[in-house]
Every structure is written in C-alpha cells, then in structure tokens.
Amino acid sequence: MEARCVARYIRIAPRKMRLVADAVRGKNVNEAINILKFTPRYAAVPMLKAIESAVANLMNNSGDSGRANPDLLLVKTIFADEGPTLKRFMPRAQGRATPIRKRTSHLTVVIGTPDVEEAVEAKPAAEEEAVTESKPKKITRKKKAE
C-alpha cells in the first residue's frame, strides 16, 4: 500500500533539497519526521509538510485504517526535481547586468508499508555473495638458480 505527495514550485534550489532528502530516504516515517524537525535547513520545512501530507493521503485513501499503521510506514521514494527558474538581473558597473537564477523545486514523496517479498528476496542474495567469495591465491616463489 502506497501513497504519494507532490509539492510543486517550492522556492528553494533542488540541489539544497536533495541534501535533506538523502537524510530521510528509506527511513521510518516517524523517524523521518523527527529528523526533519531537528534539521537546521530551510528545505526541511516543506519536506516535513510533504511527508505529513503523504501520510494523510494514505490514511484517507485506505479503506481499512488498521492496515495503514503510521508506525510501520517507510519513506520509499523521495526526490527533488527542478522546476521553472525565475530569472532576475543584478545591475553591475558600467551599465552591465549579471543574471540571477532563482531556482524552484518539485518535491515528490512516496510512502508505504515495507514489502514482504522484497525482504524475503534480500536474504538469499546475501547468502549467495558469501558462497561466491573466492579464496586468496597462494603466492609461491621460484628458487634462484645458483
């Protein structure tokens, strides 16, 4: 079960949004909310609102509210894409002007319950890696001919 929230035209550069998004990707929703509340970055505020909105969307859209337990939800996907850029000019010396780009972001958050199938498939993969490890080769030295 998944729900998503898309916050568009956020007036912060996507590069700065991605720094905060990396901190909460794959985390439990409650843990992600706590991280964002104590993150001293401007990008944490709209990201917190988007995660809370995605949780509300899941609660509202799920017919059985017992299945949508907020303690079991994960931030499955979170990414910041670039929105339209506001172009401004800064007057400079001798009649020149330099461009200023005020970038905007589109933030997409997908939350959901952890998939049981993915967890089961992940365990055998770890076992296969252990089996395929190669043994180190023995180093032999050639005897010098006298």
106 falls within a domain: yes
137 falls within a domain: no
109 falls within a domain: yes
Residue 21 domain boundaries: 2-131
**pLDDT value for 1:** 84
Q: Give the number of domains in the chain.
A: 1
Q: What is the CATH number of the domain that holds 77?
A: 3.90.470.10
- Can you say whether residue 88 is alpha, beta or left, with left for phi > 0 and alpha for psi between -120 and 50 degrees? beta
The answer to whether the CB of 47 falls within 8 A of the CB of 107 is: yes
Please list the ranges in the chain whose pLDDT falls under 50: none
145 falls within a domain: no
144 falls within a domain: no
Among 70, 82, 66, smallest CA distance to 16 is for 82
**pLDDT value for 45:** 97
Share above pLDDT 70 across residues of the chain, in percent, rounded to a whole number: 78
143 falls within a domain: no
58 falls within a domain: yes
Task: Encode pLDDT of 57-68 as tens digits.
Answer: 999 987 765 566
42 falls within a domain: yes
pTM: 0.75
String of DSSP letters for 83-139: -PPEEEEEE-GGG-EEEEEE--EEEEEEEEPPPHHHHHHHHHHHHHHHHTPPPPPPP
